[in-house]
Amino acid sequence: MVDVGSGQGHLSRFLAYGHDVRVFMFRSSRWEFVRGAKKFDNQLKETVEKMHRKYENLPPLPPPPRHTHCHLEPNMDPEVFREVVTSAWPELESCGFEHGLLGLHTCGDLGPTLLRIFANSPACHGVVSVGCCYMKLTVNEYAEAAVSRLKNVSLNKEDLNSEKTKENLSRWMQVVVYYSLRLLLAPVVESIILLDRLIFLYERGIEGILLPAFDPLLSPRNHVLVAIKKKEVS
């Protein structure tokens, strides 16, 4: 699994050490997060080594997650993504780079970027994506694409890039005033965005499903998008 936007790597460690999954942690932020994640890896390894000295016949610790740092562009070529991953984990080339994608915090453009890489990469067989921070989507990237197939609907690019638009975008903190209204409308907007991402995959012959992973009262970000490509039968 390639864990994109893995942060401090808590989920990656759970998969690697708890379920013996080969995990590659991929993040776009600075190397400070990589060092922090490796620190947690080493702490866990040291704890297990102490247990091995105390108790006999304990199973060996599975391989730790791998780490790298790179920014995913919205239209990133899947081959470039492959090169970044395999440069840090060369062994993946020997197995045909077959993998799955995992994103626990696919903020803004990262969510659709992850789906594009999944849909366009033959070696990627599954995706698990938890969308969040939809307000960070690139406004012009997203607004034009959203209406591109609607008849008699067009957007004036000059309006999208005008000084007035930029000024309005710079006043985003005033949105806090409408926070209560946002709480009422957010589930509706999120449902539309998530269904749009499912349709994106269906249009490419890939079946997917949205699963409520846990109680929305614990966190409103409880929807997980899961899709698996069907293997061709020879």
Residue extents of the structural domains in the chain: 2-149+187-228
Instruction: Going residue by residue through the chain, which has 234 residues, state the pLDDT in tens, using 9 for 90 and above.
Output: 888 887 778 888 889 888 988 888 887 766 666 777 778 888 888 888 888 888 878 888 888 888 877 778 878 888 888 888 888 788 888 878 888 999 888 888 888 888 999 999 888 999 998 887 777 777 667 677 777 778 887 777 777 778 888 888 787 778 777 777 877 888 888 888 999 999 999 999 999 999 888 887 777 678 899 999 887 755
Residue corresponding to tokens 């490796």: 38
CB 144 within 8 A of CB 155: yes
Distances (CA, A) of 51 to 40, 54, 57, 208: 17, 5, 10, 42
Let me know: does 215 contact 192? Beta carbons within 8 Å: no
CATH for the stretch 2-149+187-228: 3.40.50
Query: What is the tally of helices (H) and strands (E) in the chain?
Result: 9, 7
In the block, which residue shows the tokens 């620190």? 39
Sheet architecture: strand order including 208-212: 66-69, 24-27, 2-4, 99-107, 124-132, 223-228, 208-212
